[in-house]
Amino acid sequence: MIDSFPISQGWLIAIALNTILGAIALLLPRKVLTTAGICHAWALGITIWGCLGWQGYIVILSYLIVGSGVTRIGKNVKEAKGIAEKRDGARGPENLWGSAATGAVCAIGQAIAPNPIWLLAYVASLATKLSDTSASEIGKAYGKSTFLITTLKPVAAGTEGAISLEGTIAGIIGSLFMAAIGWAVGLLASPWDLLWCAIAAFIATNIESLIGATLQEKYDWLTNELVNGINTTIGAAIAALIAVLVTALKLPQ
């Protein structure tokens, strides 16, 4: 369970820790986040620690570190194909909130009305995002064959809505990794929650691919960041729904 800090102490720790980490990040020669991204991450980090304590912070920090590392896997291959991430993979505010806005809402929900479902949804949202990142980045670099999810016709790596076997496997591993972190720090109430997170992430990531293949090119406002937000929200909602149904049906858990 989440440790109980007096509210003032928890928020003071959050402010101090994130200020120190933000200052270090600004001084590093190679940045995971842009300068603006670091400022927004400061606010996000304070919110997560303030609402969920160190456990919630460890989960989102793990996503940031692993997700950034995955982005750099096969970097030379992706650069040669012209499909590498912009800014050498450094994330800006739009990327940050596209990935973590759903998690932030779940964290605030837990602070206002504590319930294990908020914690499951929080972990599931980040498991979904790491699944998406892993599937996309590994698929672009090492996918031997990539297919459009709507027609299963071969398409070039990096095409919106493209999927690959290698990317799909990487996505499943990524979601289970994030769920395992959530379990290890005590945010998930049952080992079954790891499975719920993985199932939710798999479904949500494929729905995102469907959106990319059918809608994203038609609407300029449907940016990658917005689609990421939709993706993480779907993942969080599906995991929560599974848990509620399991409880309602009194299935083993």
Contact call for residues 48 and 54 (beta carbons, < 8 A) = no
Q: Is the pLDDT of residue 252 over 80?
A: no
pLDDT of residue 2 exceeding 60: no
Rounded percentage of the chain residues whose pLDDT exceeds 90: 58
Q: How confident is the model at residue 248 (pLDDT cuts 50, 70, 90)?
A: confident
| Per-residue pLDDT reduced to its tens digit, 6-42 | 556 888 999 999 999 999 988 887 667 888 989 999 9
Average pLDDT over residues 201-228: 91
- DSSP assignment of 42-82, as one string? HHHHHHHHHHHHHHHHHHHHHHHHHHHHHHHTTHHHHHHHT
Q: Is the pLDDT of residue 68 over 60?
A: yes
Q: What is the pTM of this model?
A: 0.89
Residue range 120-139, pLDDT digits in tens: 999 999 999 999 999 999 98
Model confidence at 116: pLDDT above 70: yes
C-alpha–C-alpha distance, residues 187 and 184, integer Å: 8
pLDDT in tens, 71-105: 888 777 666 666 555 555 577 889 899 999 999 99
Residue type present at position 57 = Y
Query: How many Å apart are CA 64 and CA 118, to the nearest integer?
Result: 20
Give pLDDT tens digits for 153-168: 988 877 888 899 999 9
